[in-house]
Amino acid sequence: MTDNPQDTPGLPLAKPLDEAAIREFSSRVRGQLIRPEDDGYDAARTVFYGGFDRRPALIVRVKDATDVSNVIALARESGLELAVRSGGHSVAGHSTTDGGIVLDLSEMKELEIDVERRTAWAQTGLTAGEYTAATAAHGLATGFGDTGSVGIGGITLGGGVGYLVRKHGLTIDDLLAAEVVTADGELLRVDAERHPDLFWAIRGGGGNFGVATKFQFRLHEVDTIVGGMLVLPATPEVVASFVAEAEAAPEELSTIANVMTAPPMPFLPAEVHGQLVIMAMLVYAGEDVDAGERVIAPFRAHAEPIVDMLKPMPYPEIYPPEEDDFHPTAVARTMFIDTIDRDVSQTILEHLRASDAPMRVAQIRVLGGAMARMSAEATAFAHRSSRIMVNVAAFYEGAEERAAREAWVTDFAAALRQGEGCAYVGFLGEEGEERVREAYPESTWDRLAAIKRRYDPTNLFRLNQNIPPAIEQ
């Protein structure tokens, strides 16, 4: 946290917001201002993950792009740290700040769907679940991630890997245009023709380049899918054959397999609680339900399913209702790897067995398909040819447990590493600059740093997986 960013050239020293400055600012914005003494402050400063007990000096629930521009000006002039929040799911806690300003987009939820052209303009306060429920009314969808409450702001800027990744690619592969307020407060329309450098950078470069207020997405016909949850016993053979099956499946099928200890949930038989299982989500997004049934059938055949909820269903049902007061504390590591054979599966299970964290998981996402067909240079997300994404995570209950859980995920990630380190920026925690660099090949990083210098030379947008502006040669 840098409240007083003396090390950042070009930024003024931070000065606290005095009453006159707040009054003047509030006369210029339409959105609500929330300060530490106000009712609702504690709810307004809460983000998805627990463990980030930060106290912003000011939270602004912006209403439009002019508000966004005014908040950016206030941050620029005061030198206070600026946190930008869409859905509040930052794994690294980047959407809250101690003593700074939170620009909260959650009330900007307009959505214009053009059914004929199959496009939608969406304000970035929408969540993936809200967007998906609205477009589903027309039998249309854009792919986001595995969780409905994630904001479309953060997931899109990171790339977006979800249930349609093999069929339709990353979320950014459906991004046609955006409106972005840059560090100088200007609202820019960006697309393949206008500010193409910025359009390239925001497709994977995160929140480094400005505040996205609106996205225009392509929509696909996705109506009834075949999928849902399948729970299998986790043995090295079953994990390896699940992955092999997912890789061989047609690209209409995307899978997310959580190898984990079975939680004590009512839909799981009591005798498996605490045992290692594969809790998998499958989505077949093809046109024909019978073909979908044929594609998912082999997954049921690797072992006697513990729970089999695979069925034809409306696409939005992949985002079940969530509890508002769920704020887990967890540490995680993300990576891309090439293969999960029996030996790698064995390593996964050994590590999961060796921990006593209340919940621990290795999440496996088989990639390929449409995501891999785009060239690595097409967007700032460049790990296009990666075959499998793995996220390992341990949940913890008190701060005193954190160090042990962190050591376990670090050790687990090292045991799974295959070749060069590489990471998905959307799942990075606060892991240091080296890990941010692993999200980008060197040529991508250099191009991003040059674009950063052009649009945010003072690194005003620095509370993120930061790409510092390139130094002028």
Using rule CB under 6 A, residue 87 touches ligand FAD:
yes
| C-alpha distances out from residue 129 to 132, 316, 385, Å | 5, 7, 28
Using rule CB under 6 A, residue 90 touches ligand FAD:
yes
Measured CA to CA, the distance from residue 10 to residue 206 in angstroms comes to: 22
Using rule CB under 6 A, residue 394 touches ligand FAD:
no
Q: Which is nearer to ligand FAD, 236 or 456 (CB)?
A: 456
- Given the DSSP bridges, would you call strands 224-233 and 330-337 parallel, antiparallel or unpaired? unpaired
Return the H-helix or E-strand segment holding 196: helix 196-202
> What would the two tokens of residue 241 be?
């054959």
- Residues 435-464 binding ligand FAD (CB under 6 A) are 464
User: Least distance (Å) from ligand FAD to the CB of residue 173?
Assistant: 12
Return the H-helix or E-strand segment holding 366: strand 360-366
User: Least distance (Å) from ligand FAD to the CB of residue 448?
Assistant: 14
Print the binding letters for residues 205-234 with ligand FAD: x by CB under 6 A, - otherwise.
-xx---xx----------------------
Q: Which residue from 85, 195, 360, 447 is in contact with ligand FAD, where contact means CB under 6 A?
A: 85
Question: Is 100 within 8 Å of 69 (Cβ atoms)?
Answer: no
Using rule CB under 6 A, residue 426 touches ligand FAD:
yes
Using rule CB under 6 A, residue 366 touches ligand FAD:
no
- Residues 325-354 binding ligand FAD (CB under 6 A) are none
Q: With H, G, I as helix, E, B as strand and everything else as coil, classify residue 2.
A: coil
Give me the residues paired with residue 287 across strands.
none
Phi then psi dihedrals of residue 240, to 5 deg: -65, -40
Q: With H, G, I as helix, E, B as strand and everything else as coil, classify residue 140.
A: strand
Question: Of 68, 191, 67, 70, nearest to 121 (Cα)?
Answer: 191
Q: Which is nearer to ligand FAD, 293 or 406 (CB)?
A: 406
Measured CA to CA, the distance from residue 286 to residue 38 in angstroms comes to: 50
Q: Which residue from 100, 160, 169, 305 is in contact with ligand FAD, where contact means CB under 6 A?
A: 160
Q: Which residue from 148, 158, 292, 316 is in contact with ligand FAD, where contact means CB under 6 A?
A: 158
Segment near ligand FAD (CB under 6 A), from 142-150, 336-344, 398-406, 447-455?
A: 142-150
Interface ranges with ligand FAD (CB under 6 A): 48, 84-91, 94-95, 105, 124, 145-147, 150-151, 153-155, 157-162, 206-207, 211-212, 426-427, 464
